[in-house]
Structure 1
Amino acid sequence: MSKLFFDLQATHNPHRWYLPITPEICVGPTGNQFMFGGVGMASAVAALERTAGRPLIWATAQYLGYARPGSVVDIDVWTPVEGKYNTQARSISHVDDKEIISVSAALGARESPFDSQWVEAPVVPKPEACPVRHHWRGSEEGVHSRMDVRFAKGRSGFDRDGAAEPDGRTILWARPKDDLAIDAAMLAVMADFVPQGVGNALGRNAGGNSLDNTLRIRRIVPTQWVLCDIRISGVAGGFAHGSMSLFAESGELMATASQSLIVRVRESAEDR
């Protein structure tokens, strides 16, 4: 098993896992940190893959609450249908009796002569030629400090004020700073970068709190960087909807993601 971005631990029960919540997997201002939603989904994905013994096909998460540093998230996995080629599964991540994230998923693989993609990676400069993203709050801890993110299209933080992207599109390169393989769990972490596109779409220092996230795996190939092509479909009533295509450096489409979120416009570094 590959090394993970987080410290997922097994128990004596093969259907139960646990995740200690430390500042390294959290976001938010000092004193009000909480587990990054992408880590919550990624830890469930890792638990599902390890329980089923099969690779992820798709997973959809609904975010129900927050897990704070110092707490422990228990992840319970059910596999009600185990077929010849795929397993239908679900998980509940909870702190004591408080549900944090529920995930439904399918896992498996089968032989097929077909291997094509019709979504092309955008033509953008290589990561080394793109500006490094600096977190708008100036945070030097948590998830954002552990990811190397370079913007190929769009801006970050207050640099987005008055500079809306007319097509609602943000394109960025991302990789973990630690020596970690790109797997389904790592793609699940990156899939939660969709809210970064909201600020560029609006031309404001904006993001949001995810309500859900769906990750669909096509094929994972070796790559150091992942090209995240984020498209915000629309914003209304205080909510936004967006999607992402995740490509390897070779242009291989590895996965797609989509989510809805509560829009948050940040007027100062103290705002969440």
Structure 2
Amino acid sequence: MSTSAYPSRLPSLFVSHGSPMIALETTPAAFFLDRLGPAIERLWGRPRAVLMCSPHSPARQPLVLGAARHSAIHDFGGFPAELYQLRYDALGEPLVAQEAAELIKAAGLGGWVTETSGLDHGLWTVLRRMWPDAGVPVVPLALVPSRSPAEQWALGAALAPLAEQGVLIIGSGAATHHLGRYPWGRDASQEPVAPDVRAWQDWIAARVQERDWPALLDYRRRAPEAALQHPTDEHWLPFYIAAGAGSAGRVAGSEIVGQRLHASVDAGVLAMDAYAFGAGAAELAKELA
């Protein structure tokens, strides 16, 4: 446990949320999220707030939800009734929302605050596993899916100062997201991992370990079977917001540290990898090992 209220910088995170059923599932990815919140608390205490981005709340400009309270939105259909009965009611943090919008605006990237409330399933299903008691205030950030990986990185870098103030920045998305390949109507738990999915996971992990950020920013051309893993890239773009936030405001360079925290695959095609970036990334990985 840190002797100060907050470390010099909290790491930023990218997590894969997969299906909304992760709120109920007994999968490796779900169990990882169960351990992630407590691991962060053991090292640094509870965050002041979580600033979290999800592709399920898209916008044309960066939009920060500054409501005083939030609750779960069941923005999906066709799942078991038990899932729709789950709630997640959390406080917001309007001051952090305002600070975030000002940082984004100062970087020339737009940035607006709205009093709109609500947590889409890319947010609350993850947070419900990390902090079941909903004891950490949440500040949702809408994703701008039209912006490039480099622009997402710049957005994350603009938010980096918040990590020095006890704010945990999380990008929630999916390491792979091609739902057309999902084995609908079959027992997904019995599906073997597709070789191209494993190749993608290995390529991303290697580039992160080597700090080859230029290759990662140019993943569409350089990564193996990139279009097969992400026909559209909105679920992968939060990775770059998290990486940028872990860069302490610097441009992508070899000094920026990233660490894979988790790797698994659901239904043979949905990679559920998670990463930490910047200060504390290695320490968090060790705590989770």
Same fold, judged at TM 0.5 (above): no
Shorter-chain TM-score: which interval? under 0.3
Q: Which has the higher helix share?
A: 2
Please give the TM-score of this superposition, normalised by the length of structure 2: 0.25
Please give the TM-score of this superposition, normalised by the length of structure 1: 0.26
Q: Which has the higher strand share?
A: 1
